[in-house]
Structure 1
Amino acid sequence: MSFNDLLEANREFAAHFDLAGFDGVAHAGVAIVTCMDSRIDPLGMLGLKPGDAKIFRNPGGRITPQALEALVLAVHLLKVERVLIVPHTRCAVASNTEAELRAQVAASAGIDASWQPFSVISDQVAALGEDVQKVHSHPLVPDSIEVGGFLYDVDTGLLDQKY
């Protein structure tokens, strides 16, 4: 499989590119940590546009050490004042056990995957509360930063604020 279709789409995108000269700060003062799931449009779901927000994505939309690193940089260097943590409904890491995910990956890969860790989530709402607390309690995240925990419904497009 080649990348020709994507490179052609990129040339079309570049022909109408109007984002040159952006300064890289979050113009709406927003950072979003969400899942890598392709059903999530982080900017669109909040009525934002390119340049408005910093977006960090990972399986499950968790606050990992890498997500915390991104948020620290965002609040100190990129004008972020509000952080949204947004996992979603029907998430693979929240609806499977680690053993189930390993078995699915092994079946797809055709090799043993029992050694590969997957950060499954047994209770999304509880995990979301823990993640909000991780950001709130980080010594390099000022108390002035608003942090909210939301569950995104992939079937309706609605956010439900949990924290």
Structure 2
Amino acid sequence: MTTAFDDLLEANRHYAQTHEGGFDGIAQAGVLMVTCMDSRIEPLAMIGLKPGDAKILRNPGGRVTDQVLVAIVLGVSMLKVDRVLVVEHTRCAMASSTEADVKARIGDKSGTDASWMTIGVIEDQESTVRADVNRVHSHPLVPDSVEVAGFIYDVDSGLMTPVD
């Protein structure tokens, strides 16, 4: 029986032939990155790391949500994370539309009212990055020894700019 996932399963079989495995689940470089789900972002490659080095958390806009905070707390408590990067990016769909526009587009595409959803568009990326960095810094279960910083990643140049 053919499925919509056959091409991906075939690619996975090829991947598995050279996969080394054996990682212990610890962030070997002590890094955790929160970033957007945008497919133009290659989190490990853009900071010179490889699989096993970092924990990567992705969502629309790269926001520090309640669930992301849970993951950060687990990372710093159990997985040797001691550096957290909050990374938003240029040309982000979450930062280029209003909440109403995104809900309308979803509703038009799905044929179902989406006005009840909270999308979380970003009106000012630098302010949002600062607020999310502060949210991590001020969490009572994230020790002061954990370094937290925010960045804007330029999807065209590949460079990350610190947000002070």
Common fold by TM > 0.5: yes
Q: 1:89 offset after TM fit, Å?
A: 0.7
- CA deviations on 1:66-99 (whole Å, 9 max, x unpaired) are 1100000001100011000001111111110011
2:75 is matched with: 74
1:103 maps to what in 2? 104
Q: Deviations over 1:13-42 (max 9, x none)?
A: 011111x22110000010000001111000
Q: How many residue pairs end up in the alignment?
A: 162
* Residue number in structure 2 paired with 1:125: 126
Matched residue type, 1:12: H
In structure 2, what is the Cα distance between the partners aligned to 1:116 and 1:139?
Answer: 29
CA drift of 1:104 comes to: 1.0
Poorly superposed stretches of 4+, deviation over 6 Å: none
- What do residues 74-130 of structure 1 show as CA deviations (whole Å, max 9, x unaligned)? 011000110000011111111100111011111211222222221011111001100
Quote the residue 2:92 is aligned against: 91
**Rounded Cα–Cα distance in structure 2 between residues aligned with 1:72 and 1:114:** 32
Name the % identity: 61
- 2:77 is equivalent to residue 55 of structure 1: no
Name the CA distance, whole Å, in 1 between partners of 2:158 and 2:62.
16
Q: Could you tell me which amino acid in structure 2 is paired with residue 7 of structure 1?
A: L
Whole-Å separation in 2 of the counterparts to 1:125 and 1:71: 21
Which residue matches 2:15? 13
Using the alignment, how far apart are the partners of 1:117 and 1:132 within structure 2? 21
Distance (Å, rounded) in 2 between the aligned partners of 1:76 and 1:111? 41
Q: Any unmatched runs of 5+ in structure 1?
A: none
The alignment status of 1:159 with 2:125, answered yes or no, reads: no
Q: RMSD of aligned C-alpha atoms?
A: 0.9
For residue 144 of structure 2, what is the amino acid of its counterpart?
Answer: D
Q: What secondary structure sits across from 1:86 in the alignment?
A: strand
Structure 2 counterpart of 1:31: 32
Report the CA distance between 1:44 and its aligned residue. 0.4
Q: TM-score, normalised by structure 2?
A: 0.96
